[in-house]
């Protein structure tokens, strides 16, 4: 006669057997009886990231990962971008890093240039020119501005009696056009050396940036000297960036799309 469920599986120990000790995964399992006790369970909470990590570091890591995947898939694109970046910033790199071709004065040619729209610029440039024997002084400005500038300085007794070493360039209607004309003149007649741009403090930064793009990239060491003039209002940074873009385009393809429009505005009667 059957003795119930305990007898139906002979040799199988149950919980009523005093020798019963089940094993889980090869390890003894111990029963813990808690009568009325609250069991404390430690919950590991996810650590909150700082706002700096979430908004700056994490997006940067994600961007770096995406760029890495992009570079592995199209390796030629990053290489081309690197070459373009070096070409774009070369006027500044070559002018500041010691040991590069145009980072030091060399050759016999030293040129000083200024813009004649303000006579004080010319006076400062003439003073510097006299302090550097053998240098060439290039005065830039439209024909009418050149004549007015010379007449005024002669009346003030500031015009040199010996004009040897002085050159007047009349091409160009603004700083980009004038420095582009200077670059063409230097390329045909001079060995790269040192170019010093003399102008007002407000104008110097933009003029230097354009000169480094157009002339510094050709092997000239470009520096600047400021002189106090009648107009010292700060220039717009946007204007400087715009003109640097024009200079880079002119350097790349030899064309300035804004040149004709600028001349029409500044000198509508020019032929």
- 4: in domain: no
**Please, which pLDDT band fits residue 206 given cuts at 50, 70 and 90?**
very high
What is the per-residue pLDDT for 197?
A: 98
Q: Domain residues for 138?
A: 110-190+199-266
The answer to whether the CB of 189 falls within 8 A of the CB of 103 is no
pTM: 0.63
For residue 2, pLDDT over 50 is answered with no
**Please, which pLDDT band fits residue 263 given cuts at 50, 70 and 90?**
confident
- The count of structural domains within the chain is 1
For residue 269, pLDDT over 50 is answered with yes
- 47: in domain: no
Characterise 2 by phi-psi region: left (phi > 0), alpha (psi -120 to 50), beta (else): beta
What is the per-residue pLDDT for 141?
A: 94
- 150: in domain: yes
* Residue 100 tokens, joined: 């590069």
Helices within the chain (DSSP H only)? 51-52, 58-73, 76-96, 119-131, 143-155, 175-189, 201-214, 237-253, 259-266
What is the per-residue pLDDT for 196?
A: 97
Query: Contacts by 210-213 with C-beta closer than 8 Å and gap 24+?
Result: 210/175, 210/176, 210/179, 210/243, 210/244, 210/247, 211/179, 212/91, 212/92, 212/95, 213/91, 213/244, 213/247, 213/248, 213/251
**Picking from 30-34, 65-69, 74-78, 218-222, which range would have the lowest pLDDT averaged per residue?**
30-34
- 73: in domain: no
**Dihedral sign (CA 91, 97, 98, 100):** negative
pLDDT tens-place string over residues 157-167: 999 999 999 99
CA angle 221–222–225, rounded 5-degree value: 140
Mean pLDDT within 225-233: 85
With CA atoms as reference, report the closest residue to 131 among 186, 196, 182, 192: 196
- 105: in domain: no
Q: Which has more pLDDT, 227 or 262?
A: 227
Alpha-carbon distances, residue 104 vs 107, 134, 142, 236, 259 (angstroms): 10, 18, 32, 31, 32
* Residue 92 tokens, joined: 């500044």
% of the chain residues with pLDDT over 90: 43
- 65: in domain: no
Residue 15 makes CB contacts below 8 A (sequence gap 6+) with none
Mean pLDDT within 171-195: 91
Q: Which has more pLDDT, 3 or 222?
A: 222
Residue 249 has φ and ψ, to the nearest 5°, of -65, -40
Mean pLDDT within 106-135: 90
What is the per-residue pLDDT for 44?
A: 61
- 23: in domain: no
- 250: in domain: yes
With CA atoms as reference, report the closest residue to 210 among 85, 115, 107, 72: 115
What is the per-residue pLDDT for 5?
A: 47
């Amino acid at each position: 006669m059957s003795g119930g469920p305990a007898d139906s599986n002979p040799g199988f120990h149950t919980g009523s057997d005093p020798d019963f000790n089940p094993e889980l995964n090869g390890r003894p399992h111990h029963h813990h009886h808690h009568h009325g006790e609250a069991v404390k369970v430690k919950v590991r909470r996810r650590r909150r990231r700082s706002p700096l990590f979430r908004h700056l570091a994490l997006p940067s890591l994600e961007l770096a990962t995406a760029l890495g995947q992009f570079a592995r898939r199209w390796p030629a694109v990053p290489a081309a971008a690197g070459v373009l970046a070096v070409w774009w910033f070369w006027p500044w790199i070559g002018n500041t890093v010691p040991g590069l071709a145009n980072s030091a004065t060399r050759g016999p040619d030293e040129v000083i240039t200024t813009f004649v729209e303000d006579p004080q610029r010319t006076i400062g440039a003439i003073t510097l020119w006299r302090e550097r024997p053998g240098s060439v002084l290039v005065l830039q400005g439209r024909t009418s501005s050149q004549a007015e500038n010379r007449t005024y300085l002669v009346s003030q007794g500031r015009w040199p009696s010996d004009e040897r070493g002085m050159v007047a360039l009349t091409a160009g209607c603004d700083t980009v056009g004038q420095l582009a004309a200077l670059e063409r003149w230097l390329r045909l007649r001079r060995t790269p050396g040192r170019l010093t741009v003399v102008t007002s403090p407000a104008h110097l930064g933009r003029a230097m940036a354009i000169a480094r793009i157009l002339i510094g990239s050709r092997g000239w060491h470009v520096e600047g000297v400021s002189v106090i003039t009648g107009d010292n209002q700060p220039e717009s940074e946007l204007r400087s960036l715009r003109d640097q873009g024009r200079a880079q385009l002119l350097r790349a393809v030899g064309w300035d799309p804004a040149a004709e429009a600028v001349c029409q505005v500044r000198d509508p009667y020019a032929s």
